[in-house]
């Protein structure tokens, strides 16, 4: 078992690069299955979720080779049509493999996905959409048995909610289906655009990705490609939150500022000085942070639910009261209780979190309950007085590449240590 230990507070200073986006790399890795051939993927982050996706590709028979942050996948050798249950349970986004698999195989089987427990995230939208494309789905005891008897065909699909995963699954299945597919009320996240650009680089015909209606004209096959994954906008928001919380000054490189248009105003309202460049952002925290009255999570281009936790962490030490409204996931406030163990004043009622700023946070023994909640505890620990020990860091490793190394480059006193259960410090 591992934990992260932070000795704070320390103001962060310096420059740092952002690694590739987890939420972009995963569907692109799934897309490497399409039509066979080779994909060389650059800026592919070293994350446990990415490792799980690569293992799925290997189990399906693909040849995968990683060298530094580049991954080469050859799916000509795909021989299997079933993903083992234990691999599906490692990450919730594993369901995105379904759309790519049914485009290659007439019969596939996989179980419901796992990952962070954020409340119901039903895959009904995925299944309904794929059924409209010609997939026959039999769901029994958590196993999806999917058959394609007469090939996939285009369809007009109206999503009840702009689900990122469902939009990705439709795109992956539709690019080699016969005819034209229209996705109405499609997700508009930058990661959707990145997936579309990857597929287009392989010869797919996709129009208006990133808009509410996406058009896909099926092609007979795709070809090999070399592609670079976009930067991770949530990791960027986490670095900015840590700088704000510690009153530091950092420059984050390899970013796409336009992807953060709903997030950057929050830092400005809190009193941070911001300078935005073509592919970099400089932030300087003020002597005293100010509360932000209302932050409501929404599908893109609204404020991202994944940024809610790290932003909440820095606002725990802002003067005044900040209010969050979480509209995407039901259980997205699990980190609030852990922040309160560090001295934060947070009250939760349903979808609303009221954060009353305190003068100081204090180091404590806390537990990462999910990916972004774990990142929030790191942000808080960097600003807290004394030692913060964060357990269950496997959640953090799903989306952050060696987070302790990243913050050490900015001057933080943060380390990872291996512990045994009998030596673990109690959560007093």
- Beta partners for 217? 180, 205
What's the token pair of residue 392? 């269950």
Give the end-to-end CA distance of the chain in Å, rounded to a whole number: 19
Question: 58 labelled as ligand-binding?
Answer: no
d(CA 27, CA 189): 13
Q: Do 192 and 168 touch, CB atoms closer than 8 A?
A: yes
Question: 123 labelled as ligand-binding?
Answer: yes
Catalytic-residue membership of 116:
yes
How do beta strands 249-253 and 13-17 pair?
parallel
Listing DSSP states for 265-290 in one string gives HHHHHTT-EEEE-SSEEEEE--SS-B
| CA of residue 287 relative to chain centroid, distance | 31
CA distances from 270 to 59, 289, 317, 321, 374 (A): 48, 5, 11, 11, 22
Question: 23 labelled as ligand-binding?
Answer: yes
Question: 306 labelled as ligand-binding?
Answer: yes
Of the candidates 116, 146, 272, 340, the residue annotated as catalytic is: 116
Contacts of 265 (CB under 8 A, 6+ apart): none
Question: 286 labelled as ligand-binding?
Answer: no
Residue carrying structure tokens 């019969």: 107
Quote the DSSP letter at residue 72: E
Question: 109 labelled as ligand-binding?
Answer: no
How do beta strands 280-284 and 249-253 pair?
antiparallel
What's the token pair of residue 206? 């996709």
Q: Tell me which H or E stretch contains 164.
A: helix 164-174
Q: Tell me which H or E stretch contains 292.
A: none
Residue by residue, what is the 3-state secondary structure of 8-57?
A: ECCCCEEEEECCECHHHHHHHHHHCCCCCCEEEEECCCCCHHHHHHHHHH
Cis peptide before 9 (omega within 30 of 0): yes
For the annotated binding site, the residues are 22-23, 92, 121-125, 306, 328
The residues annotated as belonging to the active site are 116
For the annotated binding site for phosphoenolpyruvate, the residues are 22-23
For the annotated binding site for UDP-N-acetyl-alpha-D-glucosamine, the residues are 92, 121-125, 306, 328
């Amino acid at each position: 078992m591992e934990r992260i230990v932070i000795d704070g507070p320390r103001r962060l200073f310096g420059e740092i690069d952002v690694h590739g986006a987890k939420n972009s790399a995963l569907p692109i890795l799934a897309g490497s299955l399409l039509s066979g051939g080779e994909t060389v993927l650059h800026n592919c982050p070293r994350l446990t979720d990415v490792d799980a996706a690569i293992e799925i590709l290997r189990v399906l028979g693909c040849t995968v080779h990683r060298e530094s942050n580049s991954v080469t996948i050859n799916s000509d050798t795909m021989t299997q049509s079933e993903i083992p249950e234990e691999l599906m349970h490692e990450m919730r986004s594993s369901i995105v493999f379904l759309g790519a698999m049914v485009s290659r195989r007439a019969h596939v089987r996989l179980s419901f996905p796992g990952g962070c427990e954020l409340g119901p995230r039903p895959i009904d939208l995925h299944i309904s959409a794929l059924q409209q494309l010609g997939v026959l789905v039999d769901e029994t005891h958590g196993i999806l048995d999917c058959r394609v008897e007469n090939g996939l065909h285009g369809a007009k699909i109206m999503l009840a909610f702009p689900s990122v995963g469902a939009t990705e699954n439709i795109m992956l299945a539709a690019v080699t289906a016969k005819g034209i597919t229209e996705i109405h009320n499609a997700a508009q996240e930058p990661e959707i655009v990145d997936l579309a650009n990857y597929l287009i680089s392989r010869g797919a015909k996709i129009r208006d990705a990133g808009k509410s209606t996406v058009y896909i004209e099926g092609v007979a096959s795709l070809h090999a490609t070399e592609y670079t994954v976009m930067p991770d906008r949530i990791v960027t928001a986490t670095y900015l939150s840590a700088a704000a919380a510690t009153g530091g000054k950092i420059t984050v490189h390899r970013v796409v500022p336009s992807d953060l248009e709903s997030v950057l105003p929050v830092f400005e309202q809190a009193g941070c000085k911001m300078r935005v460049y073509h592919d970099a952002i400089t932030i300087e925290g003020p002597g005293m942070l100010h509360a932000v009255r209302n932050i409501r999570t929404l599908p893109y281009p609204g404020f991202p639910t994944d940024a809610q936790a790290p932003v909440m962490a820095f606002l725990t030490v802002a003067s005044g009261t900040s209010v969050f409204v979480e509209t995407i996931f039901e259980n997205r406030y699990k980190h609030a209780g852990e922040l309160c163990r560090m001295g934060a004043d947070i009250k939760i009622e349903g979808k609303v979190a009221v954060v009353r700023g305190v003068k100081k946070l204090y180091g404590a023994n806390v537990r990462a309950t999910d990916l972004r909640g774990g990142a929030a505890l790191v942000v808080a620990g960097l600003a807290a007085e004394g030692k913060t020990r964060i357990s269950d860091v496997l959640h953090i490793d799903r989306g952050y590449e060696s987070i302790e190394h990243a913050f050490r480059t900015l001057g933080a006193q943060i380390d990872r240590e291996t512990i045994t259960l009998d030596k673990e410090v109690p959560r007093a």
